[in-house]
């Protein structure tokens, strides 16, 4: 078991690793900052978006643009604020020009997200839009079909309640989608009030009882050494239905086809020219990363 302090230290170690990550050489070259995630390391509710946009890349903090402002408003409407939740993304680095995350990038970054889930132990993970939803459900079904439908899944060694909703960026310009997003959001307090999902047995004998806010099971969250970037475009996804084996037959189609009918999130406007993060521009090598304290999490 670990204490809150130990959890923060472990999360900091993962943050440090992410800061030096070069698994996706092109993203490592073009990013200004790694956007690890921010919020409460003890949160019961975690949001997973798609990837940093220009604003996030500049600040090193997720969801600081228009979509983030909407997310903040929706949180307030259900009586929460950023400090109550943890916000992360499928990718920790901005894809140049806000292009879609590539399958190999999603796979490279998956370990960081799973480490965050292992350490933070949220009861509910709210996936925002297609990329996070497809990755964590390990299923190609688009957000339009599954939004607002909670399900219990195993992510790594954790059972969590997954709750897909539309990406706030997609709702920014489509009033009907915003209404749906708001309705789905309104169900979050009830979901959070449900008993924590039963945790799977662990072979190492660690205590996997739902945490009482003080202690949590130990896990080894640190991604291993950076592997050589893979050319293999097929990510493996991260989810297995609880009580069942991880799906093996279906390759995870994260970032692949079949999302044309679904809303495409927008990660903010392209950076102003000269901002140093546009494709082909040299990144600001001296850019300081926010400290763990500045991210408000550790
Ligand atoms: N969109 C995302 O998916 N993530 C961010 O951090 C910002 C916008």
Atom number of ligand 1 nearest to Cα 129? 3
Ligand 1 in contact with 168 (CB < 6 A)?
no
Distances (CA, A) of 143 to 7, 106, 278, 293: 32, 17, 29, 34
In this prediction, residue 213 has a pLDDT band, given cuts at 50, 70 and 90, of: very low
Mean pLDDT of 154-166: 95
Per-residue pLDDT tens digits for 59-95: 999 999 999 999 999 999 999 999 999 999 999 999 9
Local structure of residue 23 (DSSP, 8 states) = S
Q: Is the pLDDT of residue 256 over 60?
A: no
Atom number of ligand 1 nearest to Cα 62? 6
| Cα–ligand 1 centroid distance for 217 (angstroms) | 30
Ligand 1 in contact with 51 (CB < 6 A)?
yes
Atom number of ligand 1 nearest to Cα 49? 3
| Cα–ligand 1 centroid distance for 91 (angstroms) | 9
pLDDT for res 267: 61
Q: Is the pLDDT of residue 160 over 80?
A: yes
Ligand 1 in contact with 59 (CB < 6 A)?
no
Per-residue pLDDT tens digits for 9-64: 999 999 999 999 999 999 999 999 999 999 999 999 999 999 999 999 999 999 99
| Cα–ligand 1 centroid distance for 56 (angstroms) | 7
Ligand 1 in contact with 53 (CB < 6 A)?
yes
Ligand 1 in contact with 127 (CB < 6 A)?
no
| Cα–ligand 1 centroid distance for 52 (angstroms) | 5
Domains of the chain: 4-191 (3.40.470.10)
Ligand 1 in contact with 74 (CB < 6 A)?
no
Locus of tokens 């939004």: 147
């Amino acid at each position: 078991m670990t204490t809150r302090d130990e959890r923060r230290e472990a999360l900091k170690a993962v943050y440090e690793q992410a800061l030096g990550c070069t698994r996706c050489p092109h993203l490592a070259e073009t990013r200004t900052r790694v956007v690890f995630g921010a919020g409460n390391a003890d949160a019961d509710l975690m949001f997973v978006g798609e990837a940093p946009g220009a604003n996030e890349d500049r600040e090193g903090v997720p969801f600081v643009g228009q979509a983030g402002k909407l997310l903040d408003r929706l949180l307030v409407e259900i009586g929460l604020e950023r400090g109550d939740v943890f916000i992360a993304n499928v990718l920790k680095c901005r894809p140049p020009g806000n292009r879609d995350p590539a399958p190999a990038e999603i796979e490279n970054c998956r370990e960081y997200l799973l480490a965050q889930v292992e350490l933070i132990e949220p009861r509910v993970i709210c996936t925002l839009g297609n990329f996070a939803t497809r990755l964590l459900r390990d299923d190609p079904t688009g957000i339009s079909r599954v939004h607002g439908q909670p399900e219990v899944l195993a992510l790594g060694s954790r059972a969590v309640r997954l709750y897909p909703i539309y990406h706030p960026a997609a709702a920014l310009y489509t009033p009907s989608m915003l209404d749906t997003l708001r309705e789905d959001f309104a169900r979050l307090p009830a979901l959070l009030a449900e008993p924590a999902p039963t945790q799977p047995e662990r072979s190492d004998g660690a205590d996997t009882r739902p945490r009482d806010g003080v202690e949590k099971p130990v896990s080894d969250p640190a991604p291993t050494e950076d592997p050589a970037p893979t050319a293999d475009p097929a990510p493996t996804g991260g989810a297995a239905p609880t009580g069942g084996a991880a799906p093996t037959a279906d390759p995870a189609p994260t970032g692949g086809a079949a999302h044309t009918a679904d809303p495409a999130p927008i990660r903010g406007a392209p950076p102003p020219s000269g901002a140093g993060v546009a494709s082909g521009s040299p990144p600001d090598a001296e850019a300081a990363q926010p400290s763990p304290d500045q991210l408000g999490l550790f």
